[in-house]
């Protein structure tokens, strides 16, 4: 019998130090493999504990941003909002792809109203336009009763060189210059075209909270 000592770095049990010489190679290979597996498992467990600790501390694991998110972050940081407009992030600023724009027109038919629009931005932005809907039920020729918005730059006229700021200015323009030529609410468009005074009265009635025809509009003024 010979006494061989295994490498101390592996921290092997004492009984491995007295082994038969002919079995050294096999025993050592097995021991090294098992030790390496144990070390890898320990590293994985340590990394998992770090992630759990970060999560418990309110720090979510860092997520790689898409090209669309990076572009949107730039656009939002460079926003030049009209004084009648503000932006909010209902899900917090960690979710830039979903936000709200609040428009409070300071002139025109809709003076004094408050209108909320939701923006959903695709990771493909700016190659795809944002999806915009009006949360506020409004009597308007270019916004239907389900909140769909008729704005050409959100459809066929969208180009990657455009940005969120362009859309926001377009929304403001809808309230200062409603258009009866490309309507979603055909009834409102016909009244605007044929009887502007009645249109104005209908807008005020809707904003104050009331019926216009058979449709009820919650107060937004």
- Asked if residue 77 and residue 31 are part of one domain, the reply reads no
- Asked if residue 113 and residue 190 are part of one domain, the reply reads yes
Task: From residue 170, give the alpha-carbon distance in Å to each of 100, 198, 219.
Answer: 15, 25, 24
3-state secondary structure 93-128: CCCCCEEEEEECCCCCCCCCCCEEEEEECCCCCCCC
- Asked if residue 46 and residue 109 are part of one domain, the reply reads no
Question: By C-alpha distance, which of 69, 71, 50, 73 is closest to 61?
Answer: 50
Contact call for residues 105 and 84 (beta carbons, < 8 A): yes
- Asked if residue 115 and residue 141 are part of one domain, the reply reads yes
What's the confidence (pLDDT) of residue 46?
A: 74
Give me the phi and psi of 69, to 5 degrees please. Answer: -65, -40
- Asked if residue 96 and residue 189 are part of one domain, the reply reads yes
- Asked if residue 213 and residue 141 are part of one domain, the reply reads yes
Residue 131 lies in a domain: yes
Overall pTM surpassing 0.75 (yes/no):
no
Residue 168 lies in a domain: yes
Catalytic-role residue among 11, 134, 150, 220: 150
Question: In degrees, to the nearest 5, what angle opens at C-alpha 205 toward C-alphas 199 and 209?
Answer: 145
- Asked if residue 96 and residue 30 are part of one domain, the reply reads no
Q: Which domain holds residue 44?
A: 8-56
For the chain, 221 residues long, the average pLDDT of each consecutive 10-residue run is 44 44 57 66 74 67 78 94 96 93 98 98 96 98 98 95 97 96 96 98 98 97 91
Domain count, the chain: 2
- Asked if residue 211 and residue 156 are part of one domain, the reply reads yes
Beta bridge partners of 98: 120
Question: In angstroms, how far is the first alpha carbon of the chain from the final one?
Answer: 97
What's the confidence (pLDDT) of residue 13?
A: 45
- Asked if residue 127 and residue 182 are part of one domain, the reply reads yes
If 0-12 CB within 10 Å is exposed, 13-18 middle and 19+ buried, where does residue 145 land?
Answer: middle
Contact call for residues 30 and 41 (beta carbons, < 8 A): no
* Token duo for residue 85: 């407009």
Residue 81 lies in a domain: yes
Residue 3 lies in a domain: no
- Asked if residue 92 and residue 47 are part of one domain, the reply reads no
Beta bridge partners of 120: 98, 131
Residue 114 lies in a domain: yes
- Asked if residue 80 and residue 51 are part of one domain, the reply reads no
Query: Of 56, 78, 93, which marks where a domain is finished?
Result: 56
Task: Residue 186: give its domain's CATH number.
Answer: 3.10.110.10
Residue 61 lies in a domain: no
What's the confidence (pLDDT) of residue 64?
A: 74
What's the confidence (pLDDT) of residue 25?
A: 62
Question: By C-alpha distance, which of 130, 118, 133 is closest to 166?
Answer: 130
Residue 129 lies in a domain: yes
- Asked if residue 139 and residue 202 are part of one domain, the reply reads yes
Residue 2 lies in a domain: no
150 labelled catalytic: yes
């Amino acid at each position: 019998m010979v006494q061989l000592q295994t490498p101390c770095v592996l921290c092997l049990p004492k009984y491995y130090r007295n082994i038969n010489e002919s079995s050294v190679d096999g025993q050592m290979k097995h021991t090294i493999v098992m030790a390496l597996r144990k070390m890898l498992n320990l590293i994985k467990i340590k990394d998992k504990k770090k992630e759990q600790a970060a999560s418990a501390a309110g720090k979510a694991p860092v997520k790689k941003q898409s090209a669309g998110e990076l572009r949107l972050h730039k656009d939002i940081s460079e926003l030049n909002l009209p004084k009648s407009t503000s932006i909010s992030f209902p899900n917090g600023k960690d979710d830039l792809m979903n936000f709200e724009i609040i428009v409070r027109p300071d002139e025109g038919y809709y003076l004094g109203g408050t209108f909320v629009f939701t923006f959903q931005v695709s990771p493909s932005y700016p190659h795809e336009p944002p999806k915009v809907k009006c949360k506020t039920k409004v009597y308007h020729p270019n916004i239907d009763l389900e909140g769909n918005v008729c704005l050409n730059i959100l459809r066929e006229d969208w180009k990657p060189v455009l940005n969120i700021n362009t859309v926001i200015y377009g929304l403001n323009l809808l309230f200062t210059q409603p258009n009866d030529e490309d309507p979603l609410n055909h009834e409102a468009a016909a009244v605007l075209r044929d009887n502007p005074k009645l249109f104005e009265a209908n807008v005020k009635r809707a904003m104050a909270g009331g019926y216009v025809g058979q449709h009820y509009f919650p107060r937004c003024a």
